[in-house]
């Protein structure tokens, strides 16, 4: 990440992707070492000694868009110090910029695209046998100075076939308990086609979920072996299969609801019965990607929800006793300033969410918007990928608004929400004070009546 855990602890979760990959490699008798640079305090000399002591045959680095500049700095340093060790990149950003990344960076040798568990295992097997990589699906690599891109690998359909992530290799796991939460990803893929999101392009358009038994097994390990106090489900659509969620909740109740947890849901994938069961199983809150208070924008972004459905979803969560965190986008390319203010009003005065997150649109690599910037009239005004975090300053301008004005509107949205929350707290305090005065008045009157009765 562009931020370390001390700078932005709320943005850090255990690196589950490389833990899963490491578990598959370990199962195949490979020796693996994980180094969590987002959490550890380190410098390049320390990193050099770490690599020297393990003496690996291959170095792998996972990268998101915002962490990509730092990833390249690390890769360049490692290539200078260890020129004979192949360096492999994986993750969302390298997946969708694979050929560009290789052509511009000699320090990178191979890119593993999308799901990496099987692809990386086959890569190691081919290296050990001295075989060509050309038959390995999901790879992009150099061959005699030419970039070779093999066909995409089919997605793993049976997620239960993957071993439990190699938490035991993660030296930093206790730190996440202290500053954040443990992470479980119990499903992959998304059947939706939201134009601002790259999830379905990366994980596939069909949803694949682990069995309830497999989910609970992983939670057992985190709770009993690593003392997890809170677990966040990193699934994009945790409640897509309601029967599965009910079964997971049943299992948690059988275990005495031993850990609190949170998850992400779509407004149209929940009902009151499910939410109440989740609450009984110690779910404390849900995240809902609302994104806009305008139906026109929901339709244009292919969200496949309605304003009314979002309102009902938040109301159901409140009725079930669950906190709600909702997200909204600022900077949709067809929206004017008045349109954005309409959404701000919706979030502040109508929705009733426990928490609202405002994000400036930064087109994700692999998303429909990113692949069609010209059609949407979007221009990048900031080429620093580390700024692609969703907060100010905006990295884009739209046909209707400059980057500076988008940043100002993002700040205005946050301020209006803060004012609304302060007003609500003041009203609640005033209400409680009035109720307290009325109660005291009733007590005084009753005492007075009692004295008269005595006479």
Angstrom distances, CA of residue 127 to CA of 26, 28, 85, 120, 180: 16, 14, 12, 11, 38
**Buried-state track 373-412, b at ≥16 Cβ within 10 A, e below 16:** eeebebeeeeeebebbbbbbebbbbbebbebebbbbbbee
Return the structure tokens found at 337.
């300033």
- Answer whether 326's CB lies under 8 Å from 288's CB: yes
pLDDT digits (tens, 9 = 90+) for 94-144: 999 999 999 999 999 999 999 999 999 999 999 999 999 999 999 999 998
Query: Which positions of the chain have pLDDT values less than 50?
Result: 1-3, 450-455
Question: Which token pair is 275?
Answer: 């939410």
Q: Are 204 and 95 in contact (CB under 8 A)?
A: no
Distances, alpha carbon 338 to alpha carbons 68, 335, 418, in Å: 35, 8, 20
- Distance from C-alpha of 1 to C-alpha of 9, rounded to nearest angstrom: 11
Please state whether beta strands 323-330 and 59-62 pair in parallel, antiparallel, or not at all (unpaired): unpaired
pTM for the whole structure: 0.89
Instruction: Return d(Cα 315, Cα 306) in angstroms, integer.
Output: 14
- Please report the pLDDT score of residue 454 as a whole number: 35
Closest C-alpha to 337, from 399, 421, 291? 399
Q: Which of 250, 249, 350, 255 is nearest to 293 (CA)?
A: 350
CA distance 398 to 30: 49
pLDDT at 78 (0 to 100):
97
Across the chain, what does the average pLDDT equal? 90
Tell me the helix, strand and coil percentages in the chain, rounded to 5.
Answer: 50, 15, 40
In angstroms, the CA 155 to CA 444 distance is 72
The string over 166-204, giving b where at least 16 C-beta atoms fall within 10 Å of a residue's C-beta and e elsewhere, is bbbbbebbebbbeebbbbbbbbbbbebebbbbbbbbbbb
Instruction: For each of the domains in the chain, give its residue range(s) and CATH number, in order of start.
Output: 9-149 (3.40.50.280), 181-431 (3.20.20.70)
- Residue 6: the pLDDT is 57
């Amino acid at each position: 990440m562009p931020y370390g855990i001390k700078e932005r602890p709320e943005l850090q979760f255990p690196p589950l992707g490389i833990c899963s990959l490491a578990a598959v490699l370990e199962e195949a008798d490979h020796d693996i070492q994980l180094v969590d640079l987002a959490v550890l305090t380190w410098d390049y000399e320390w990193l050099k000694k770490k690599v020297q002591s393990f003496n690996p045959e291959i170095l792998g680095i996972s990268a998101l868009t915002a962490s990509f500049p730092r990833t390249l700095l690390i890769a360049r340093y490692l290539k200078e110090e260890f020129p004979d060790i192949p360096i492999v990149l994986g993750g969302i950003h390298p997946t969708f910029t694979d050929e560009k990344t290789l052509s511009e960076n000699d320090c990178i040798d191979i890119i593993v695209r999308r799901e990496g568990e099987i692809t990386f295992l086959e890569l190691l097997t081919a290296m050990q046998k001295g075989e060509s990589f050309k038959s390995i699906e999901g790879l992009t690599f150099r061959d005699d100075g030419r970039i070779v891109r093999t066909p995409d690998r089919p997605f793993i359909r049976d997620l239960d076939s993957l071993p439990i992530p190699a938490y035991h290799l993660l030296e930093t796991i206790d730190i996440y308990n202290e500053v954040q939460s443990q992470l479980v990803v119990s499903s992959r893929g998304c059947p939706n086609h939201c134009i601002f999101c790259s999830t379905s392009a990366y994980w596939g358009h069909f949803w694949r979920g682990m069995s309830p038994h497999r989910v609970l097994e992983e939670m057992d390990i985190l709770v009993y072996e690593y003392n997890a106090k809170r677990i966040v489900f990193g699934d994009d659509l945790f409640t897509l299969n309601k029967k599965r969620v009910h079964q997971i909740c049943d299992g948690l109740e059988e275990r005495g609801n031993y850990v609190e947890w949170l998850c992400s849901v779509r407004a149209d994938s929940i009902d009151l019965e499910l939410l109440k069961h989740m609450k009984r199983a110690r779910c404390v809150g849900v995240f809902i990607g609302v994104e806009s208070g305008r139906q026109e924008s929901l339709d244009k972004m292919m969200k496949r929800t309605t304003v009314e459905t979002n309102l009902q979803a938040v109301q159901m969560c409140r009725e079930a006793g669950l906190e709600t965190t909702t997200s909204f986008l600022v900077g949709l390319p067809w929206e004017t300033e008045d349109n954005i203010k309409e959404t701000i009003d919706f979030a502040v005065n109508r929705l009733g969410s426990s928490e609202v997150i405002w994000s400036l649109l930064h087109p994700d690599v692999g998303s429909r918007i990113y692949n069609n910037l010209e059609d949407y009239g979007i221009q990048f005004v900031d080429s620093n990928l580390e700024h692609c975090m969703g907060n100010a300053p905006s990295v884009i301008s739209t046909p209707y608004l400059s980057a500076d004005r988008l940043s100002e509107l993002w700040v205005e949205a946050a301020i209006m929400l803060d004012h609304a929350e302060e007003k609500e707290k003041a009203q609640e305090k005033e209400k409680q004070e009035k109720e307290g005065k009325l109660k005291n008045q009733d007590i005084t009157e009753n005492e007075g009546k009692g004295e008269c009765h005595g006479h």
